[in-house]
Amino acid sequence: MTLLTVRKITRTFGEKETAVHALQDVSFDVEAGTMVALVGRSGSGKTTLLNVIGGLDRPDTGTVHVDGVEVTALDEDGLSLLRREKVSYVFQTFGLIPVLSAAENVGAPLRLARTPAAERERRVALLLDLVGLGDHAGQRPGELSGGQQQRVAIARALAASPRLLIADEPTGQLDADTGRSVMALLRGVVESEGVTALISTHDPIMMALADRVIRINDGRITE
């Protein structure tokens, strides 16, 4: 079953002589429950593509469908609902709220979804156990290591049971060992939660863990 359908996406930054064609006629499909690695050099258009798919950016032309929803046709509220229910992100810089504990950070999407407190606490505990931070629930991001923070970010991304997990260089700020453990975690999450993951990376290990690798070069899919 196809979860993600990308058709003829183009995205250009700037105008005329200074125009940069970040994405040119990009089309591909991703099956549900697979882990896809998006690979390319810096500036090849990986992040732009992820942003367009997640509704953080709008393409000049083309369409994106996630779980049957046409992302490119949604308004701001629709995109917010999409990100709340179907698509979630893991950033290179974690993006945690510093004054909230790990558990409260993980529970943030559930709050937005108005999940009852008891169910929220149960789900948060489950996810923190899943990422191996069950004992660190009360700690704030500043009291956690970089790898632990990224695990919290992954748990947060999974909190609302999204259909599509988008991770933009999730190991970019981690050392090699920590990066590997995070990658293994992502692989495990895809299998255990049945999530579809689209991960941009330079890391060959991550590519090896992926079900499929999509290469992008100068804004074009070269797979």
Partner 1 sequence: MKLPSPRWPSLRRPVLHWPVLHWPVLHWPSIRGRARADAGPLVLTAVVVAVVSALAGAVPSLLRSTADEAVRDAVRRAGSNADVTVTARWEPDDGETGRIRMPRLAEDVTALRERALNELGGGLRAALLPPVAGVITPTLKVTDGSVLRTLRLGYLSRDGGPAVTWLTGGEPGPTEEGFPEVAPSGPPWTVSIGLSETAAAAFDAEPGDHIPVADEKGNPKDVVVSGVFRPADPADPAWRLAPWLLEPVTGADGLGSTRFGGLLSAASLPDARLAFGPDDTKRTVWFSPDPDVLTWESADRIAATAVTLKATSASSSSFDTASTWNTQLDAVLRDVREQVNAASAQASVLLIAVLTVAVLVLLLAAGLVVHRRTPALAVARQRGTGLPVLAIELVIESATVALFAAGIGLAFARTLVSQSVSGNGPQPSFGVAALVAVVPVVLAAVMAAPVLAVIAAARATRDRRAPANRSARRRVARTAQMRRVAGELAVFAVVAAAFAALHQRGVQPGAAVWLPAAAPTLGVLAGALIVLRLAPVGAGFALRWAVRSTRPLAVFGASRVAETAGRVLPLVTMVVAAGLPVFAFTVAGTVEAGLRDGAWRTVGAEARLDLAPDSLASPELVRRIAGQRGVSHVVAGQVIDGARIVAEEVTVSPRLVIVDARAFRELLEDTPLPDGGALAGLESSASPSASASAPATASASALPTLFPDKSEMSDEGSSVPALVLSADGGMRVGMKLQLLRDDAPAVALTAIGTAPAIGGAPDVVLVDANALATAGMTAEPDTIWATGPGAAQAITTSGVAGDAVIRTEILRERHDAPLVSGLLRLAWASAVVMLALGLLGFTLSAAATAPDRWQTLTRLRTIGLRPRDARRVATAELLPLAAVAALAGPALGLGLAWQTLGPLALRLLTGQSADPAAHLPWPALIVVSTSFLVVALAVAPAESALRRRQHLSEVLRVGT
Q: Give residues in contact with partner 1 (CB under 8 A).
A: 47-48, 51, 54, 56-58, 76-77, 80-81, 83-85, 88-89, 91-93, 95, 97-100, 104, 108-109, 111-114, 117, 156-157, 160
For partner 1, the closer of residues 99 and 184 by Cβ is 99
**Nearest-approach distance from CB 51 to partner 1, in angstroms:** 4
For partner 1, the closer of residues 57 and 193 by Cβ is 57
For partner 1, the closer of residues 2 and 145 by Cβ is 145
Of the candidates 52, 43, 47, 55, which has an alpha carbon nearest to the alpha carbon of residue 84?
55
For partner 1, the closer of residues 151 and 209 by Cβ is 151
Name the strand (E) or helix (H) holding 220.
Answer: strand 220-221
**DSSP secondary structure string, 57-114?**
S--SEEEEEETTEEGGG--HHHHHHHHHHTEEEE-TT----TTS-HHHHHHHHHHHTT
Fill in the amino acid letter for 152: V
For partner 1, the closer of residues 20 and 99 by Cβ is 99
Q: How far apart are CA 168 and CA 197, in angstroms?
A: 11
**Nearest-approach distance from CB 156 to partner 1, in angstroms:** 7
**Nearest-approach distance from CB 35 to partner 1, in angstroms:** 20
**Nearest-approach distance from CB 83 to partner 1, in angstroms:** 5
Instruction: Measure Cα distances from 149 to 16, 202, 203, 206 in Å.
Output: 42, 21, 20, 19
Strands 2-13 and 61-66: antiparallel
**Nearest-approach distance from CB 208 to partner 1, in angstroms:** 26
